Structure 1
Amino acid sequence: MGRSKLEKFSAIAERENVIQDGDELYGQLSGKWKSEFFENNNPIILEVGCGRGEYTVGMARLHQDKNYIGTDIKGARIWKGSSMAVEEELDNVAFLRIFIEQIEEHFAVHEVDEIWITFPDPRPKDRDIKRRLTSPRFLDMYSRIVKPGGIVHLKTDNQGLYDYTLEVLQERNAENLIYTSNLYNSDLQEHTMGIYTTYEKRYLADGIPIKYLQFRVN
């Protein structure tokens, strides 16, 4: 493990905006994020697989009347987003270091208002279907922690993941399903708030269209 990663791990261990295994609050915030962590009653927006946290922080900049939580297992990635939030003095941002499979251990039923999934690993191999963040397994998890009618969003560069997700949602009769295979050549851009991740900019520079869909949790 390189020195840089060790330094990042050490830094996030001291950050108040990062919750991870070993912290006093780890595993203690289910149903209490508003009262015990953010100390307000604002809506909770969750980004699963947040990576560097660029989307989480970007949304928090635009909407300081909402609480944003980015989840990922990679501490070195979370370090970037948590650093940006600290530098910009954003107190409506938190990062939770967990495997996504653990998500129901950390959020109560209907505690979350909205979910974002931005550029997840597409898991293209058939043996990894259950690991796709839009598989029925994960959609069921989201439906339990998101309030009734809450919105879930997906942004991806991957055509296979987009097609798979759309098929799954149509089979499930997802409500208010809207989608496009070319976000920046559609009238759905307003839903993504003009936020671009580093990888997204690279995809666009390479001429890869960005796919987007959203639906309401049944």
Structure 2
Amino acid sequence: MARKKLMRFKWNDEVHNLFQPEKDNYKFYKGNWKEYFKNTNPIVLEVGCGRAEYTTGLAALNPDVNYIGLDIKGARLWKGSSLSIEAGLTNTAFIRTKLQNLEEFFEPGEVKGIWITFPDPKPRESEAKLRLSGLRFMNIYRRLMPQGGKVFFKTDNRILFDHTLEVLKEPSLKISNLVFTHDLYQSDLLAEHYGIQTTYEKTYLNQGVSINYLKFDFLPL
């Protein structure tokens, strides 16, 4: 196992599509991701991407959109990075960072969409500011998408989901077109997840747990 980790860390250090603190170009492309991707296509993020099932899955389906997966765990990012290269995907990138630092990598208006897929629910009240669908992060997403943008959220955790719905009532977020379901696989929104399932999602489905899903648009400021 230690050898596998060393090989993955070496990969992360050398591969071109993964940005981490040890690299000189770690924050180089802020405001200028078109130089990395060599195009001006829209940028969509998967925050807390884990094994990056959505980053890689959506990138394969939508070659005219650039997808960037972000996570703090290098071993998880290795999976998405290596899958992208094996599949010949040129419209993906990965960043190792704490997600509260998103604005160190993107300028306002540079992001057109964000997927939040099965984040840690952070159930303790003392952890509320770390919930990726909480108000702190929604305000970050809002600042990255001042000209409008879409947010998609999937979770098995009903408490976190209902908390998120309350957060979205905050008038300053200026959202529209909110739709949601407490049981994605029994709703007419099912096609919207493109048949992509995370590892966590598969586990929960096998246990008979319902999957919550919502999407909304940020109105232009």
Query: Which residue number in structure 1 is paired with residue 58 of structure 2?
Result: 59
RMSD (CA atoms): 1.3
Distance between the aligned counterparts of 1:24 and 1:130, measured in 2? 30
> Could you state the TM-score of these two structures normalised by the residue count of structure 2?
0.95
Greater alpha carbon shift after TM alignment, 200-209 vs 166-175: 166-175
Greater alpha carbon shift after TM alignment, 4-13 vs 85-94: 4-13
Query: Which residue number in structure 2 is paired with residue 194 of structure 1?
Result: 195
- Establish whether residue 213 from structure 1 lines up as the match of residue 214 from structure 2: yes
Query: Which residue number in structure 2 is paired with residue 156 of structure 1?
Result: 155
Taking a change above 3 Å as real, the CA distance of residues 192 and 147 of structure 1, as seen in their structure-2 partners, is farther
Aligned residues: 217
Query: Which residue number in structure 2 is paired with residue 45 of structure 1?
Result: 44
> Could you state the TM-score of these two structures normalised by the residue count of structure 1?
0.96
- Establish whether residue 204 from structure 1 lines up as the match of residue 205 from structure 2: yes
Distance between the aligned counterparts of 2:166 and 2:100, measured in 1? 22
Greater alpha carbon shift after TM alignment, 189-198 vs 199-208: 189-198
Distance between the aligned counterparts of 1:4 and 1:147, measured in 2? 42
Distance between the aligned counterparts of 1:202 and 1:135, measured in 2? 24
Distance between the aligned counterparts of 1:148 and 1:183, measured in 2? 29
Q: In the TM superposition, what are the counterparts of 1:163-178 in structure 2 within 5 Å?
A: 163-172=162-171, 174-178=175-179
Query: Which residue number in structure 2 is paired with residue 109 of structure 1?
Result: 108
CA contact (8 A) 1:113 1:147 kept: no
Percent of residue pairs identical: 51
Amino acid of the residue matched to residue 203 of structure 1?
Answer: Y
CA contact (8 A) 1:108 1:145 kept: yes
Query: Which residue number in structure 1 is paired with residue 138 of structure 2?
Result: 139
- Establish whether residue 25 from structure 1 lines up as the match of residue 25 from structure 2: yes
Greater alpha carbon shift after TM alignment, 107-116 vs 187-196: 187-196
Q: List per-residue Cα deviations over 1:114-157 (Å, max 9, x = no partner).
A: 00000000001111111101111111110111242200110001
Task: Spell out structure 1 runs of 4+ moving beyond 6 A.
Answer: none
Which secondary structure state, in structure 1, belongs to the residue aligned with residue 67 of structure 2? Answer: strand
Which runs of 5 or more structure 2 residues have no equivalent in the other structure? none
